[in-house]
Amino acid sequence: MKAIGVFDSGLGGLTVVRELKRQLPAEDIIYLGDTAHLPYGTKSAEAITRLTLNNVLFLLKQKVKLIIVACNSASSLALSSISRYFSVPIIGVIEPGVKQAVRITETKCIGIIGTPATIRSGEYEKQIKKIDPSIKVISQACPLFVPLVEAGWINQSETFTIAKKYLDSLLVKNKKTDTLILGCTHYPLLKPVFKKILGEKIRLIDSAEQVVRQVAGVLHDQGLARKSSDRGARCRFYVSDDPDGFAYQARSFLGQRLSKVQRINHV
């Protein structure tokens, strides 16, 4: 049975891998971290689309049955233009998180934090307004979060200071905000920091759980779901640069150091 393919610009997509292993433990996974081109969020739409296409083509060469674009910048700027050319299901991370946020907001005020490219695209607001035009949406680009997470700076005081500055800038725009979408797969690692700043009054939306639920539905509907077997599920990890650094930092996401990460030539 074929594997599920997942890609991101770096480590962030491992939050989706973690959720796949929890919800769909029988499924094989192939992960690609395009670490040579990290971060995507500060690049142009054209560059992100080109890199996304390269990632999709690499995973298709591995004979995957479904691809998760575990990168919000790629999901917002490249998914719609690329997915139509391939028969394999390609699922992004924006729509599932949006649906959850719209479902639970009580004040009809939703905040979004993401990379500059994701925020600039306006894709989150577009998807939210499509479901409920009356919802107010505020957003804040947070360009430093991805480098901080990639460097393992989760608990440093500098990270708290930067996060507080970003979140204060966001919430001053609308004090009625009760729901915050974490618009980047790196951001769930910073949840403890966000909660310390925001308290319990604002609910955080991590799209990984909703994405995997959607994946489970697609696999079931198309007869692609893998049943349990004695050998257990397998995970293969590829990166375009620094496999040792990736393997070490993966502990923060998966709870263990990866024993094998393969480097690929990825232009």
* Residue of 109, 142, 184, 235 with catalytic role: 184
Taking the CA of residue 244 as centre, how many other CA atoms within 13 Å lie in the half-sphere pointing to its CB? 0
Written as six digits, the tokens of 201 are: 């009054």
Amino acid (one-letter) located at 169: S
CB 127 within 8 A of CB 164: no
The answer to whether 136 touches 110, Cβ cutoff 8 Å, is yes
Within 8 A by CB and 6+ apart from 165, the residues are: none
Who's near 243: CB < 8 A, 6+ residues apart? Answer: 261, 262, 263
How far is the CA of 192 from the CAs of 123, 152, 195, 244, in angstroms?
26, 14, 5, 27
* Inter-residue contact 140 to 110 (CB < 8 Å): no
With contact defined as beta carbons under 8 Å apart, do 13 and 30 qualify? no
Catalytic residue among 71, 109, 142, 235: 71
Respond yes or no: is residue 142 known to be catalytic. no
Other beta carbons within 10 Å of 38: 23
Contact 101, 205 (CB under 8 A): yes
Give the residue numbers annotated as catalytic, written as ranges: 71, 184
